[in-house]
C-alpha cells in the first residue's frame, strides 16, 4: 500500500476532519454534549479575540474608525430631538406657526445630518482599509504556515479544502469585517444614544422596552446558538466539495480514459447537494432571527403609541415629545433588528475564521534539535542503521533496515510495489523521521543536522513532475539562485532537452502554463532532470525519474547522467531493472527489509529474489 493510501485510510477512519464541524438541525437529533458545547463556546470566544488581535495591529486606523462611528451616530441622534422642537414651534389649536424657529432647527438638523453622512462615509473607507490589511496579513500567515507544515499534513488533507480555507473562508471573514462590524459598532452606539435621549424625554415610556428588549435578546440567543454548528458544517461541506472538484479536474485524462464521467457526475451531485443543503439549512434557520425580532420591535412601537397617547391626554407629554420619542424608538429598535439580521453572517464569518485558525494552529514540522549543525563540505557517505518506520503507529512499513552507501557511488533501490522504496527516500530527506534506528550522513546523525542544510545536500527528481507558471529558464534555475543562461543551457544539453527548447518560439523564455500542460509529460520530466542537474549537490535522488521517456532517450539521459554524477552519491528507484545494471550497489527491498544487496552480477549469481524480479520482466 502506498504512503498516500496508508494515510488516506487513517483519514477516512477519522472522518478526514470533514465531520469535525457537524451540528444538529434545530428540533432534530440529540442535544450536544455539555462539554462539547463549552468547548465550542470557548473556541468561538478565542476566535473573536484572535480576530481582535489582527485588527489591533492597525490600532490608529481602528481608533479613527471608532471616532467616525461615534461622531456619525451622535450627530444623527440629534436629529429626532430637533424634529420634536420643530413640531413644538407650532401652536396647536391656534394655527400660528413660528417659522423662524422651525427654519432655525431645520437648518441645524440638515447640517448635523450632512456631517453624519460624511463621517459615515469615512467610517466605511476606514473599515474597508482595515479589513483589507487584516485579510492580507491573515492570508500571509496561512501561507507561511503551509510552508512550515510537514509533508504528512498534505498527505491527509485535500488540496481543494486547503485552497478553500485560504480563499473562500478568508473572503467570508473579509466581508464580515468590512460590513458587519460597521453595523455592530453603529448598533451599539445608536442603541445606547437613543436610550439616553428617550430617558430624557419620558422615563416612564422607556419601560416598554423592559419587556420587548429581553424578548429580543432571548430569541436571538436561542436561534443563533442553534445555528452556529450549521455554519461550521456549511464551511466544512464546501471545503469537501472544493477538494473533490480539484481532484477530478487534476485527473481529467484518467477519468475520461476509464469512461467515469457519469459516475463522477453522480458523486459531484452528491457533494454539491450536501454543500447546498448545508448552506440552505444554515441560512434558513439564521434568517428566522430577523423576522422574529422585527415583530417584537413593531410590538414595542404599538405599545409606545398607545401609552404615549395616554400620557399626552394626561398632560405629561407634548406632541413634539411624542414625535421625538417615536423617532428615537425606531432608532433604538431598528439597529437591534439589523443586528439580529447580520448575526447569521457573523456566525458564518466565525465558522470560516475557525477553519482558518485551525490551519494556522496546526503543528509545524518539528524544529531542529538544539545545537543542530549545518551540513557542509559533503562527501556523500550515507549509512542507515536498523531503521524501523511506519506512517501509522499500528503498521510498520520498514523493519530493521540497514545499508551503507559509499561516497560517489550509484545505489539502486528495487523491489515490488509497496515494499518501502519511496518511504526510504522520505526518510533520507527527513520528510519523516524513523521510529527507531538512525541515518548517518558523513558520520553525522541526520537528526543532529538542520533539515534545510540536509535537504540542500540532495538534488531530487520525482516521478510526479512539478513545473510552475513561468519561463523555461525560471523553471530550470529554480533551485540555483543566480544561475546563468550558460549554466542552464549546459544542464539542458546534458538532459537532451536543449534542442527541443531552441525549437520553441521564445526558446528559454517560453512561458509554461500551469504545471507545464503545454508540453508533453516526457518533456516535463526531462526539464525536471535538467533542473536537478543544475544543482551543486553532492547527493542525488531519482525516483522513477525516467518513467515517462522512451527507451532511446532514457539511454541518452543515463549516459549523460553518469558523467554528471561523478563524485556524487546517487539513489535511484527503478522498476525497469535493466536500467540499473551498472549500479555500484543494488538494495533489494521487500516488506520493508533489505533482503539482498550487491551488484547486478552478484545478485544474479545468487539466484534469489532479485533474479526472480529481473526474469519476471522478460517473461
Q: Which DSSP state fits 617?
A: T
357 close to 47: Cβ distance less than 8 angstroms? yes
Per-residue model confidence (pLDDT) at position 439: 92
Distances (CA, A) of 339 to 48, 63, 169, 230, 279: 17, 22, 22, 19, 21
Closest of 506, 332, 372 to residue 452, by C-alpha: 372
Distances (CA, A) of 293 to 27, 46, 211, 567: 20, 28, 13, 78
For 290-301, letters b (16+ CB in 10 Å) and e give bebbbebbeebe
402 close to 384: Cβ distance less than 8 angstroms? yes
Question: And the C-alpha cell for 451?
Answer: 533539515
Q: Which residues fall within 8 angstroms of residue 139, CB to CB, at 6 or more apart?
A: 166, 170
Topology of the domain comprising 58-360: ABC transporter transmembrane region fold (1.20.1560)
Helix (H) or strand (E) holding 460: strand 458-461
Angle in degrees, CA 34, 37, 42, rounded to 5: 125
Closest of 182, 287, 291 to residue 231, by C-alpha: 287
Q: What are phi and psi of 350, to 5 degrees?
A: -65, -40
Q: Which residues fall within 8 angstroms of residue 241, CB to CB, at 6 or more apart?
A: 160, 268, 271, 272, 274, 275
Cα torsion angle, 37, 39, 42, 48, sign: negative
Q: How far apart are CA 380 and CA 386, in angstroms?
A: 20
Residues of the chain with CATH 3.40.50.300: 382-616
Regions of the chain where pLDDT drops below 50: 1-38, 93
Q: How far apart are CA 519 and CA 515, in angstroms?
A: 9
Q: How far apart are CA 142 and CA 250, in angstroms?
A: 23
Does the model's pTM come out above 0.95? no
173 close to 264: Cβ distance less than 8 angstroms? no
Distances (CA, A) of 409 to 84, 242, 427, 498, 537: 95, 45, 19, 27, 14
Q: How far apart are CA 456 and CA 383, in angstroms?
A: 18
Per-residue model confidence (pLDDT) at position 344: 64
Q: Which DSSP state fits 577?
A: G
Superfamily per CATH, domain 382-616: P-loop containing nucleotide triphosphate hydrolases (3.40.50.300)
CA dihedral 291, 297, 302, 307 (to 10 degrees): 160
Strand partners, 55: none
Q: Which DSSP state fits 470?
A: E
368 close to 447: Cβ distance less than 8 angstroms? no
328 close to 208: Cβ distance less than 8 angstroms? no
Q: How far apart are CA 431 and CA 455, in angstroms?
A: 9
C-alpha 238: how far from its chain's center? Answer: 12
Per-residue model confidence (pLDDT) at position 30: 39
Distances (CA, A) of 550 to 115, 173, 526, 528, 615: 76, 51, 11, 16, 21
529 close to 545: Cβ distance less than 8 angstroms? yes
**Cβ neighbours, 10 Å, residue 565:** 20
Residues of the chain with CATH 1.20.1560.10: 58-360
C-alpha 253: how far from its chain's center? Answer: 27
Q: Which DSSP state fits 515?
A: G
**Cβ neighbours, 10 Å, residue 201:** 19
C-alpha 517: how far from its chain's center? Answer: 25
Question: And the C-alpha cell for 407?
Answer: 561516497
Q: How far apart are CA 400 and CA 405, in angstroms?
A: 17
C-alpha 49: how far from its chain's center? Answer: 20
Per-residue model confidence (pLDDT) at position 26: 39
Per-residue model confidence (pLDDT) at position 549: 62
Distances (CA, A) of 121 to 28, 234, 339, 559, 591: 44, 33, 20, 70, 69
Distances (CA, A) of 48 to 159, 346, 394: 27, 10, 39
Question: And the C-alpha cell for 491?
Answer: 544542464
Per-residue model confidence (pLDDT) at position 527: 84
**Cβ neighbours, 10 Å, residue 248:** 19
How many residues would you count in the chain?
619
Q: Indicate the pairing of strand 539-543 with strand 458-461.
A: parallel
Q: Which DSSP state fits 179?
A: I
173 close to 356: Cβ distance less than 8 angstroms? yes
Q: Indicate the pairing of strand 410-414 with strand 569-573.
A: parallel
**Cβ neighbours, 10 Å, residue 91:** 10
Q: Indicate the pairing of strand 436-441 with strand 382-389.
A: antiparallel
For 216-228, letters b (16+ CB in 10 Å) and e give beebbeebbebbb
Per-residue model confidence (pLDDT) at position 1: 41
Amino acid at each position: 500500500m502506498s504512503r498516500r493510501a496508508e494515510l488516506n485510510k487513517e483519514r477516512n477512519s477519522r472522518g478526514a476532519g470533514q465531520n469535525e464541524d457537524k451540528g444538529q438541525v434545530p428540533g432534530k437529533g440529540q442535544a450536544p454534549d455539555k462539554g462539547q458545547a463549552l468547548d465550542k463556546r470557548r473556541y468561538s470566544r478565542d476566535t473573536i479575540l484572535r480576530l481582535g488581535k489582527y485588527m489591533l495591529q492597525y490600532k490608529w486606523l481602528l481608533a479613527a474608525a471608532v471616532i467616525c462611528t461615534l461622531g456619525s451616530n451622535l450627530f444623527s441622534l440629534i436629529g429626532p430631538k430637533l424634529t420634536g422642537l420643530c413640531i413644538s414651534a407650532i401652536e396647536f389649536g391656534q394655527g400660528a406657526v413660528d417659522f423662524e424657529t422651525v427654519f432655525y432647527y431645520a437648518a441645524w438638523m440638515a447640517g448635523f445630518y450632512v456631517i453624519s453622512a460624511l463621517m459615515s462615509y469615512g467610517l466605511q473607507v476606514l473599515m474597508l482599509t482595515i479589513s483589507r490589511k487584516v485579510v492580507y496579513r491573515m492570508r500571509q500567515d496561512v501561507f507561511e504556515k503551509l510552508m512550515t507544515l510537514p509533508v504528512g499534513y498534505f498527505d491527509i488533507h485535500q488540496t481543494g479544502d486547503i485552497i478553500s480555507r485560504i480563499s473562500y473562508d478568508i473572503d467570508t471573514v473579509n466581508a464580515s469585517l468590512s460590513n458587519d462590524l460597521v453595523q455592530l459598532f453603529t448598533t451599539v452606539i445608536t442603541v445606547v444614544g437613543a436610550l439616553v435621549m428617550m430617558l430624557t424625554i419620558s422615563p416612564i415610556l422607556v419601560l416598554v422596552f423592559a419587556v420587548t428588549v429581553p424578548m429580543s435578546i432571548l430569541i436571538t440567543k436561542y436561534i443563533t446558538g442553534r445555528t452556529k454548528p450549521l455554519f461550521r458544517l456549511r464551511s466544512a461541506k464546501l471545503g469537501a466539495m472544493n477538494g473533490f472538484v480539484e481532484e477530478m479536474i487534476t485527473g481529467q485524462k484518467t477519468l475520461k480514459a476509464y469512461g467515469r464521467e457519469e459516475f463522477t457526475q453522480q458523486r459531484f451531485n452528491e457533494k454539491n447537494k450536501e454543500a447546498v443543503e448545508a448552506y440552505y439549512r444554515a441560512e434558513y434557520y439564521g434568517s428566522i432571527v430577523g423576522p422574529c425580532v422585527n415583530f417584537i420591535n413593531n410590538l414595542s412601537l404599538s405599545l409606545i403609541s398607545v401609552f404615549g397617547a395616554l400620557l399626552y391626554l394626561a398632560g405629561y407629554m407634548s406632541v413634539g415629545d411624542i414625535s421625538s420619542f417615536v423617532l428615537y424608538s425606531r432608532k433604538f429598535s431598528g439597529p437591534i433588528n439589523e443586528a439580529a439580521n447580520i448575526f447569521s453572517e457573523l456566525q458564518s464569518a466565525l465558522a470560516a475564521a475557525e477553519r482558518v485558525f485551525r490551519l494556522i494552529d496546526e503543528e509545524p514540522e518539528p524544529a531542529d534539535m538544539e545545537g543542530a549543525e549545518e551540513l557542509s563540505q559533503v562527501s556523500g557517505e550515507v549509512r542507515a542503521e536498523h531503521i524501523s518506520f511506519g506512517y501509522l503507529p499500528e503498521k510498520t512499513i520498514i523493519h530493521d533496515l540497514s545499508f551503507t552507501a559509499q561516497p560517489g557511488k550509484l545505489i539502486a533501490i528495487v523491489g515490488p510495489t509497496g515494499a518501502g522504496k519511496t518511504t526510504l527516500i522520505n526518510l533520507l530527506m527527513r520528510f519523516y523521521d524513523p521510529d527507531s534506528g538512525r541515518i548517518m550522513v558523513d558520520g553525522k546523525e541526520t537528526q543532529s543536522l538542520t533539515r534545510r542544510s540536509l535537504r540542500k545536500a540532495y538534488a531530487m527528481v520525482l516521478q510526479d513532475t512539478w513545473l510552475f507558471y513561468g519561463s523555461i529558464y525560471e523553471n530550470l534555475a529554480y533551485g540555483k539562485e543566480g544561475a546563468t543562461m550558460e549554466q542552464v543551457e549546459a544542464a539542458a544539453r546534458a538532459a537532451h532537452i536543449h534542442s527541443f527548447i531552441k525549437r520553441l518560439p521564445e526558446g528559454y523564455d517560453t512561458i509554461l502554463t500551469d504545471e507545464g500542460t503545454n508540453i508533453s509529460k516526457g518533456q516535463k520530466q526531462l526539464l525536471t532532470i535538467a533542473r536537478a542537474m543544475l544543482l551543486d549537490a553532492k547527493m542525488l535522488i531519482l525516483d522513477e525519474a525516467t518513467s515517462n521517456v522512451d527507451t532511446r532517450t532514457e539511454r541518452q539521459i543515463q549516459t549523460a547522467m553518469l558523467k554528471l554524477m561523478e563524485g556524487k552519491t546517487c539513489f535511484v528507484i527503478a522498476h525497469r531493472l535493466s536500467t540499473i545494471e551498472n549500479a555500484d550497489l543494488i538494495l533489494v527491498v521487500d516488506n520493508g527489509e533489505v533482503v539482498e544487496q550487491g551488484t547486478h552480477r552478484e545478485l544474479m549469481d545468487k539466484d534469489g529474489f532479485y533474479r526472480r524480479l529481473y526474469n519476471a520482466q522478460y517473461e
